[in-house]
């Protein structure tokens, strides 16, 4: 199954932080694809509030601000908060039970702890979402994180190289395009 088909056939999409950065950070590759996924698809999009801290860390770097300027930085921060408030991106978090949370963390950290705590958190959140919405697809632009998601039984797609046009064409065919 193609990445486009996997995404379009999903009942939920989980975006990690690197995908969140690519929504409005126009200097980031993947922006048109990620914007199409969030704004033009009827497939619900989810992420975690942990992504906020990581998001601000990424776009707060001098390299990004040198490209986007202070206005671009402020716009990206504002837009992400509005997207959550409007429900364009919905919140998905790891399990609420302390025991289940620790049990899952203890299982994932030995295998995926090298990715970093934020990435393990995103895996935990996506796994919890998948327990509620079976056809959940994890979208990231980080190949090691995509591999980790796949190894944990998640449907996962590397967004690198995917185009908005390729996604929108299939969304239109499946009546999952907002413009219809």
Taking the C-alpha atoms of 19, 23, 27 and 32 in order, what is their torsion angle to the nearest 10 degrees?
100
Q: Report pLDDT for 18.
A: 79
Q: Report pLDDT for 1.
A: 85
The DSSP secondary structure of 59-117, one letter per residue, reads HTSHHHHHHHHHHHHHHHHHHHHHHHHHTSEEE--S-S-HHHHHHHHHHHHHHHGGG-H
Q: Report pLDDT for 176.
A: 93
Q: Report pLDDT for 73.
A: 81
Q: Report pLDDT for 96.
A: 94
Do residues 76 and 70 touch, judged by C-beta distance below 8 A? no
User: Considering the domain 3-170 in this protein, what is its CATH number?
Assistant: 3.40.50.1010
Across the chain, which has 180 residues, the per-10-residue mean pLDDT values are: 94 90 64 88 94 80 77 84 91 96 97 94 98 97 96 96 91 86
Q: Report pLDDT for 165.
A: 92
Q: Report pLDDT for 6.
A: 95
Burial 140-160 (b: 16+ CB within 10 A, else e): bbbeebbebbeebebbbbbbb
Domain boundaries, the chain: 3-170
């Amino acid at each position: 199954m193609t990445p486009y088909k996997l995404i379009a056939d999903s009942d939920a999409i989980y975006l990690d932080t690197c995908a969140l950065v690519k929504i409005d950070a126009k200097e980031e590759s993947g922006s048109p694809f990620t914007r199409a996924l969030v704004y033009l698809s009827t497939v619900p999009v989810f992420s975690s509030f942990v992504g906020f801290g990581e998001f601000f860390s990424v776009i707060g770097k001098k390299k990004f601000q040198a490209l986007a300027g202070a206005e671009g930085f402020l716009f990206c921060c504002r837009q992400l908060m509005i997207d959550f408030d409007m429900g364009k991106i919905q919140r998905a978090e790891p399990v609420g039970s302390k025991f289940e949370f620790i049990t899952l963390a203890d299982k994932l950290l030995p295998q995926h702890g090298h990715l970093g705590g934020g990435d393990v958190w995103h895996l935990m959140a996506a796994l919890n979402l998948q327990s509620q919405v079976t056809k959940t697809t994890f979208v990231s632009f980080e190949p090691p994180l995509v591999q980790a998601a796949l190894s944990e039984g998640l449907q996962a797609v590397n967004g690198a190289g995917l185009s908005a046009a390729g996604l929108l064409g299939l969304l239109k065919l499946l009546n999952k395009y907002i413009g219809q």
